[in-house]
Chain A
Amino acid sequence: MIEIENVTRRYGTTTVVDGVSLSIPVGGVTALVGANGAGKSTLLSIIGRILRPDAGTVRVDGLDVAATPGATLARRLSILRQENQVAVRITVRELVEFGRFPHSGGRLTREDVAHVNRAIEYLQLEPYADRPLDRLSGGQRQLAFIAMVLCQDTGYMLLDEPLNNLDMRHSAQTMGLIRQMAQDLGKTIIVVIHDINFAACHADRIVAMKDGRIVADGAPREIVTPETIKAVFGIDVPVHEVDGRPLAMYFA
């Protein structure tokens, strides 16, 4: 269980995350949605201890994120940011192998190798496994990083805009995969996403943020309504039911 208590973060004079409290139980996919600059990514980075909050605490399974040793935490929780640039030249397989670092500290055991192969297979990266990362398309690279965090084999996975750079097919595939990881492997996944329809389709719970605060929290059916969307994004959008799921028609 992840417990977030009164977390605040400021950049200069602007408050990006403003006293957020939230608890996320084990299991399922939680989508963080909101307009640009609503504070979703910042909140996610704070949960993943990449950023320090100015106030408040985050606990993962009762462990305070700020006080727990990095290595302990890295076996429970993984975070993938949207901009992933690696300064060194490495292959996809090498990158995925680093996912095992928190477990084996750099020397791979047979079990680690099995994990690596499984992750590569799961994301269908075999054809590219020995290519250097910087020779891949943006989408393929994104999948390689997802494979790395998958390989890290943590109960909690935090993904920041995993659909960035992905085309229609890969977006749908990746979201399906996230769904699948939650269902088959029992992961708890928090994903920042800006397309509310993807959230509605694949998440169990949607948390909507605006100006650094949580403004709505509930099952997709409760959140994807014209009123809530107006409140979160500030636009009038009709919502239709398609195949038993709510769909916001924001394209018109």
Chain B
Amino acid sequence: MVFGGPAGTGFRPRRARTAVACLTLLLAVAIAMFMTYDLKGSLDYALELRGRKVLGMALVGFAVAYSSVLFHTATHNRILTPSLMGFDSLYVLIQTLAAYFLGTAAFLQIDVRLRFGFEVLAMLGFAALLYRWLIGRGERDVYVLVLVGVILGTMFTSLTELVMRMIDPNEFTRLQDRLFANFSTVNQDLLVISAVCVALVTALSWPLFGRLDVVALGREQATNLGVDHERLVSRALLIVAILVSVSTALVGPVAFLGLLVANLSYQLTGTFRHRYTVPVAGLLGMVALIGGQFVLQEFLNFQTRLSIIISFAGGIYFIFLLYREANR
């Protein structure tokens, strides 16, 4: 399955740079609008509240986009995303399991930072397992990966539901409020840790981009060109696990967003080089979330949820991608 830019176009770096510039501008506009539109009451308070929301959305948009691009490279295809593979439903499951075994009260008392740390560790464990089981063994094909992923996702969701029912119904409501965070109730500590995590991970992985381009060529080509395929793939998956933990901890599962922005970014830049695709995808993710939320709350009066719109648009775009590939 070969996915990529529009037919017949070679890679032109200028186009990618234009895309980065335009999107940066768009992002600035979106942030400015979101921060200043229709300000009422105490200015300081409102700005702080909105600033926190914007930071949260920017982190999530970037983390989702970046993790999807990396996941595409690591699995050599452009339809799988961490969320399709059940990563974010697993995160919710881990939280629920922890609450079940520790008791809801004890669970909620643990310091947010500590909790987040443990959850990230558990996610890293899962990524390692997934890697060994599905990818490390070599020639598993894309079919199996997608199918197993979709099923794992459903299974984790079912299991979460099951565990939630095992918890006392009264405590359960309390837990649910905490587990399914939204941008307005984001915990400040969590926001800070997430920002640090994302910045750190990005700084550490930026130098890998050249080698990741080679990894995208496939295991054998990468080995021939002297790149340690296994090590890079496992590193990429670890980064993915951290990024997914961040985004899920902040807002819960955001299906399809990653798929949408990653593929749009390949299309816009006409390349698969990470130096271009990661920034463009990240910007797209942030613009989509902040701009989308702005339009939603100012013009549609919260009549719907952003995630519904993203699923709808993302699903249609995904079918279109498959359709186009199948009719080439």
Contact = CB atoms under 8 A, between A and B. Distances in A.
Interface of A: 48-50, 69-75, 78-81, 84-91, 93-95, 98-99, 101-102, 105-107, 130-132, 134-135, 149, 152
A87 B1 contact: yes
A70 B214 CA distance: 13
A93 B271 CA distance: 13
Contacts of A86: 2, 217-218, 221
Contacts of A81: 220
Given A91-B11, A101-B214, A106-B213, A48 B226 contact: no
A78 B224 contact: yes
Interface of B: 1-5, 7-8, 10-11, 76-77, 209-211, 213-214, 216-221, 223-228, 272
A95 B217 CA distance: 9
A87 B224 contact: no
A72 B227 CA distance: 10
B224 A93 contact: no
Contacts of B11: 90-91, 94
Contacts of B227: 70-71, 74, 101
A134 B4 CA distance: 11
Contacts of A105: 210-211
A135 B328 CA distance: 10
Nearest to A99: B225
B218 A87 contact: yes
Contacts, number: 95
Given A86-B221, A93-B10, 13 more contacts: A50-B224, A70-B227, A74-B224, A74-B225, A84-B221, A86-B218, A87-B2, A88-B3, A88-B217, A89-B5, A90-B11, A132-B10, A149-B224
B220 A74 contact: no
A87 to B, nearest CB: 4
B225 A89 contact: no
A98 B210 contact: no
Contacts of A102: 225-226
B123 to A, nearest CB: 26
A74 B272 contact: no
Contacts of A135: 7-8
A89 B216 CA distance: 10
Contact of B210 (A79, A106, A131): A106
Overall SS of chain B's interface = loop
A98 B217 contact: yes
B261 to A, nearest CB: 18
23 contacts: A48-B223, A49-B223, A50-B223, A72-B226, A74-B226, A79-B220, A79-B223, A86-B2, A87-B1, A87-B76, A88-B4, A88-B217, A88-B272, A89-B272, A91-B11, A94-B10, A98-B214, A101-B214, A101-B225, A105-B210, A134-B2, A135-B8, A152-B224
Contacts of A85: 218
A101 B273 CA distance: 13
Contacts of A90: 4, 11, 272
Given A94-B11, A105-B210, A132-B4, A87 B216 contact: yes
A123 B215 CA distance: 25
Nearest to A148: B221
Contacts of B77: 87
A94 B76 CA distance: 18
Contact of A132 (B8, B213, B219): B8
Contacts of B3: 87-89
Contacts of A95: 217
Contacts of B10: 91, 93-94, 130, 132
Contacts of A84: 220-221
Contacts of B214: 98, 101, 106
A72 B272 CA distance: 26
Nearest to A102: B226
A135 B213 CA distance: 21
A101 B4 contact: no
Nearest to A130: B10
A69 B225 CA distance: 11
Given A50-B220, A81-B220, A130-B10, A89 B226 contact: no
- Of B7, B8, B10, B219, the most chain A CB neighbours within 10 A belong to B10
Contacts of A88: 2-4, 216-217, 272
Nearest to A133: B2
Shortest 7 CB-CB distances between A and B: which pairs?
Answer: A89-B4, A74-B226, A106-B210, A71-B226, A70-B226, A87-B76, A88-B272
A80 B77 CA distance: 22
B83 to A, nearest CB: 20
Contacts of A48: 223-224
B2 A89 contact: yes
Contacts of A106: 209-211, 213-214
Contacts of A72: 226
